[in-house]
Amino acid sequence: MAGRFYDEWQIGDRIVHDLRRTVTETDNLLVSTLTHNPQPLHLDAEAAGASEFGRILVNGTFTFALLVGISVGDTTLGTLIANLGYDEVRMPKPVFIGDTLRAETEVVELRPSKSRPGQGIVTFKHVMLNQRDEIVCTTLRSALLRSKPAA
């Protein structure tokens, strides 16, 4: 198990995740078609080429999902009971095919569960950056985690 229990976290804990991912055309095509998103900016090279971006934009839901996915191994793997919500999802810069993305996480809030003894809620701020260190996606994720078992 790579994740941490609720009581092993402290506000201000930071993780620079080792996992990186270069986005491929297939990534973008699959997520767009699997989610029935026909946006020409994601699928039509001619239409995207005529846009202000001049090329295909990677579907933002892929970027968001990749951000969360990269974080799981270092944060909640094996300790998660449930993700309770995602807030303030922002995408300040576009992602393009061929961009290499990496993620960082900071704990911004901790609180014990009022209704579930031995569990607590951790709020993570996840940040995705491209190879130019530009922020391309941020979100707050609230996760209900188990506390460390008694020895």
Q: What is the CATH number of the domain that holds 30?
A: 3.10.129.10
With a CB cutoff of 8 Å and minimum separation 6, the contacts of 38 are 32
pLDDT, position 6: 97
Tokens of 26: 């297939």
Could you give phi then psi for residue 71, rounded to 5 degrees? -75, -25
pTM assigned to the model: 0.94
What DSSP state is assigned to residue 150?
Answer: P
pLDDT over 90 percentage in the chain: 95
pLDDT, position 1: 53
User: Does the residue 19 lie in any domain?
Assistant: yes
Is the pLDDT at 62 greater than 70? The verdict is yes
- 149: confidence class by pLDDT, cuts 50, 70, 90: confident
Domain that holds residue 13: 6-146
Alpha helices in the chain (DSSP H): 25-34, 40-43, 45-49, 60-75
User: In the predicted model, what is the mean pLDDT of the chain?
Assistant: 96
Domain count, the chain: 1
- 151: confidence class by pLDDT, cuts 50, 70, 90: low
User: Does the residue 18 lie in any domain?
Assistant: yes
* Separation between Cα atoms, residue 64 and residue 18, nearest integer Å: 17
User: Does the residue 71 lie in any domain?
Assistant: yes
User: Does the residue 38 lie in any domain?
Assistant: yes
User: Does the residue 1 lie in any domain?
Assistant: no
